[in-house]
């Protein structure tokens, strides 16, 4: 019996980035070290931000992005965003 084609089923794919990175990838260890270092300075970072106004991008996320830029020798933030779009 021939199956029916469901055009909507392949329209969206949901996956987590964690599921796409191998368990033994070196960036997993770097991420743990970065998370520990950023947790240690979290209180200092909180003190730099106002409690009113629109929330900003978390500085931890920005610093992790800068770490990836340095590790992969990417020339600019714009090129980093292009690389993310391309590789994901």
DSSP string, 40-71: HTHHHHHHTS-SSSS----HHHHHHHHHHHHH
Over range 13-34, report the average pLDDT: 88
Confidence category of residue 10, pLDDT binned at 50, 70, 90: low
d(C-alpha 78, C-alpha 55), whole Å: 22
Model pLDDT, residue 26? 94
Tokens of 82: 């292009």
Mean pLDDT of 35-58: 90
Q: Between 63 and 87, where is the model more confident?
A: 63
| C-alpha to C-alpha distance for 31 and 59, rounded to whole angstroms | 15
Neighbouring residues of 20: CB distance < 8 A, sequence distance ≥ 6: 88
């Amino acid at each position: 019996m021939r199956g029916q084609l469901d055009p909507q089923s392949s329209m969206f794919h949901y996956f987590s980035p964690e599921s796409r990175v191998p368990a033994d990838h070196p960036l997993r260890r770097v991420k743990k070290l970065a998370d520990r270092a950023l947790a240690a300075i979290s209180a200092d970072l909180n003190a730099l931000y106002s409690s009113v106004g629109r929330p900003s991008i978390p500085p931890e996320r920005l610093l992790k992005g800068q770490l990836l830029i340095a590790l992969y020798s990417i020339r600019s933030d714009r090129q980093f965003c292009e690389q993310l779009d391309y590789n994901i």
